[in-house]
């Protein structure tokens, strides 16, 4: 991972790790002030949010959000259809703004746009979509400036709003994390997909030819979901999943560690056991043939089943896969499978974090000084899959020397990405 990080920072096509430059040279300080909106698009749901920032020392005075799920057909249609839907929901949310939020008279509302797909940014508030991930596939949006697409859709809705910042969710989470804890230097998302961002020294970015930020630092969006290496423990199941996916050959790391895929890997293994070892009897249960029928939240519910007769496992197998009369022994095997697949994912995610720590020299004690390092983590997988997050944290401690591991903490940043985008909109406001 560390080697690929160097390569990706050296030149644009240097590595499968894109190491995208975020154009964020300064993270929030706490002085941000005023009313700002954020829109977070990146998976199955999108969120809209508004915050009233108090300025120096006062923090967040008010905040409100709404969450809307994206109709699956819009994930594979046209750019206009997707952005029209989003802009319409945003307009509804803005219309509900109460008197506790206040905007100077005559001023246009400003928005931070969290867009969690690979984007080649040309400035803090513009950038073109490199490709879709996580089940999205809208051909006419690829190569377009997503801020321009959103701005046009807002105009069509009659919504007067200015996009001041375009950020990846990892960058938003990093910004949100830093606002509450100044030791935050990296952010990792483990949700439907996975990605990471961290603070890099500008000197270590040979491919950056732009102006040098005063801080001497730049936030890098690694797009680590696309990491690939001959050292990854890939199996036949992974190869088959990849070949049959919407994006073969891409997002290989994501396909073994993130929420969209873990349940599907378990389904593939069970399917083979049914076919080759008659694990569920003489016939292969037809539902086991259906791709993505076993979702990661169901896998996690089975994995966490502590009842003596493993009834959660029994129920899930019956309800989802229509397999009844499973024995206790079979249920135990299913849990063991969940454990194997989740453990591999969590340990690899921890190894990725170690890569960032190594790259930034935070994996060792420097001149006898203990530098505190906080990594902000977010995403539904990390948040809800306890066995996974426990394993990730244990592995990270295992990989680090004891003295170092005491000063490296993983912290849950609850919806930092939305607030982070609003904070970055504030610090890049056109009214500054
Ligand atoms: P997104 O990544 O789509 O922006 P989230 O961060 O909320 O959204 O993550 C949602 C993902 O988290 C789901 O797709 C699922 O894979 C995973 N997830 C949600 N709930 C659970 C759960 N209880 N156990 C395991 N994984 C879960
Ligand atoms: Mg998200």
Q: Which two tokens stand for residue 39?
A: 């829109």
Looking at the CA of residue 45, tell me the nearest atom of ligand 1.
3
The catalytically annotated residue of 145, 169, 363, 378 is 169
Of 45, 72, 349, 381, best ligand 1 pocket probe by most atoms within 8 Å of the beta carbon: 381
Looking at the CA of residue 193, tell me the nearest atom of ligand 1.
2
Q: Which candidate, 113, 109, 107, places its Cα nearest to that of 126?
A: 113
Tell me the CA distances in angstroms from 338 to 294, 311, 313, 343, 345, one per residue in order.
Answer: 11, 16, 11, 8, 11
The catalytically annotated residue of 107, 131, 152, 272 is 131
Protein residue closest via CA to atom 4 of ligand 1:
43
The catalytically annotated residue of 15, 22, 79, 116 is 116
Q: Between β-strands 217-221 and 194-201, what pairing exists: parallel, antiparallel or unpaired?
A: antiparallel
Question: Which regions of the chain are under pLDDT 50?
Answer: none
What confidence score (pLDDT) does residue 45 get?
Answer: 85
Ligand 1 centre to CA of 353 (Å) is: 20
Q: How many other β-carbons are positioned within 10 Å of the β-carbon of residue 348?
A: 19
Protein residue closest via CA to atom 24 of ligand 1:
297
What's the pLDDT tens digit per position in 70-122? 999 999 999 999 999 999 999 999 999 999 999 999 899 999 999 999 999 99
Protein residue closest via CA to atom 19 of ligand 1:
380
Contacts of 427 (CB under 8 A, 6+ apart): 26, 28, 29, 32
Ligand 1 centre to CA of 380 (Å) is: 3
Tell me the CA distances in angstroms from 7 to 157, 307, 321, one per residue in order.
Answer: 43, 49, 44
Q: How many other β-carbons are positioned within 10 Å of the β-carbon of residue 379?
A: 28
Protein residue closest via CA to atom 25 of ligand 1:
297
Phi, psi of 141 (to 5 degrees): -90, -25
DSSP at 239: H
Ligand 2 centre to CA of 189 (Å) is: 7
Which ligand does the CA of 378 lie closest to? 1
Delineate the domains of the chain, giving CATH numbers in brackets.
18-187+415-427 (3.30.420.40)
Ligand 1 binding pocket, CB closer than 6 Å? 42-44, 191-192, 259-260, 296-297, 300, 379-381, 384-385
Whether 360 contacts 397, CB under 8 Å: no
Which ligand does the CA of 43 lie closest to? 1
Looking at the CA of residue 44, tell me the nearest atom of ligand 1.
3
What confidence score (pLDDT) does residue 367 get?
Answer: 74
Q: Which two tokens stand for residue 166?
A: 């375009």
199 forms beta bridges with: 219
Establish whether 131 is a catalytic residue. yes
Q: Between β-strands 408-412 and 217-221, what pairing exists: parallel, antiparallel or unpaired?
A: unpaired
Looking at the CA of residue 260, tell me the nearest atom of ligand 1.
16
Ligand 1 centre to CA of 153 (Å) is: 28
Number of helices followed by number of strands (H, E) in the chain: 14, 13
Establish whether 116 is a catalytic residue. yes
Which ligand does the CA of 170 lie closest to? 2
What confidence score (pLDDT) does residue 213 get?
Answer: 87
What's the pLDDT tens digit per position in 390-432? 999 999 999 999 989 999 999 999 878 899 999 999 999 988 7
Ligand 1 centre to CA of 378 (Å) is: 10
Looking at the CA of residue 43, tell me the nearest atom of ligand 1.
3
pTM for this prediction = 0.94
Ligand 1 centre to CA of 190 (Å) is: 8
What confidence score (pLDDT) does residue 408 get?
Answer: 95
What's the pLDDT tens digit per position in 209-237? 988 888 999 999 999 999 999 999 999 99
């Amino acid at each position: 991972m560390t080697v690929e990080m160097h390569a990706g920072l050296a030149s644009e096509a240097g590595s499968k790790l894109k190491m995208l430059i975020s154009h964020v040279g300064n993270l929030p300080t706490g002085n941000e002030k005023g009313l700002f909106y954020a829109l977070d698009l990146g998976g199955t749901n999108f969120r809209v949010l508004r915050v009233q920032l108090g300025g120096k020392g006062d923090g967040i005075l008010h905040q409100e959000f709404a969450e809307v799920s994206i109709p699956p057909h819009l994930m594979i249609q046209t750019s206009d259809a997707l952005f029209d839907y989003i802009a319409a929901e945003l307009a509804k949310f803005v219309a509900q703004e109460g008197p506790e939020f206040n905007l100077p008279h005559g001023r246009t509302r400003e928005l931070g746009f969290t867009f969690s797909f690979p984007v080649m940014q040309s400035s803090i508030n513009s950038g073109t979509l490199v490709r879709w991930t996580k089940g999205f596939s809208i051909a006419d949006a690829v190569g377009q400036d997503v801020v321009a697409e959103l701005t046009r859709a807002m105009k069509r809705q009659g919504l007067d709003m200015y996009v001041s910042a375009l950020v990846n969710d990892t960058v938003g989470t990093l910004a949100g994390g830093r606002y509450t804890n100044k030791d935050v230097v990296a952010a990792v998302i483990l949700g439907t997909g996975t990605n990471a961002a961290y603070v890099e020294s500008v000197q270590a970015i040979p491919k950056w030819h732009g102006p040098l930020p005063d801080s001497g630092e730049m936030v890098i969006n690694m797009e680590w979901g696309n990491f690939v290496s001959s050292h990854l423990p890939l199996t036949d199941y992974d190869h088959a999943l990849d070949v049959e996916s919407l994006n073969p050959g891409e997002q290989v790391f994501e396909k073994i560690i993130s929420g969209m895929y873990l349940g599907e890997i378990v389904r593939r293994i069970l399917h083979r056991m049914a076919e080759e070892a008659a694990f569920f009897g003489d016939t292969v249960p037809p539902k086991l043939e259906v791709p993505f029928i076993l979702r990661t939240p169901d896998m996690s519910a089975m994995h966490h089943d502590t009842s003596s007769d493993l009834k959660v496992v029994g129920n899930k197998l019956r309800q989802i896969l229509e397999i009844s009369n499973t024995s206790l022994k079979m249920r135990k095997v299913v849990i063991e499978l969940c454990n194997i697949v989740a453990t591999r994912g969590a340990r690899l995610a921890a190894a990725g974090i170690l890569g960032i720590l190594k790259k930034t020299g935070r994996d060792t004690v420097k001149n006898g000084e203990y530098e505190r390092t906080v990594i902000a983590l977010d995403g539904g997988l990390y948040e809800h899959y306890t066995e996974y997050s426990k394993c990730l944290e244990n592995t990270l401690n295992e990989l680090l020397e004891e003295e170092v591991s005491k000063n490296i903490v993983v912290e849950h940043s609850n919806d930092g990405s939305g607030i982070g985008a609003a904070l970055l909109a504030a610090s890049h406001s056109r009214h500054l």
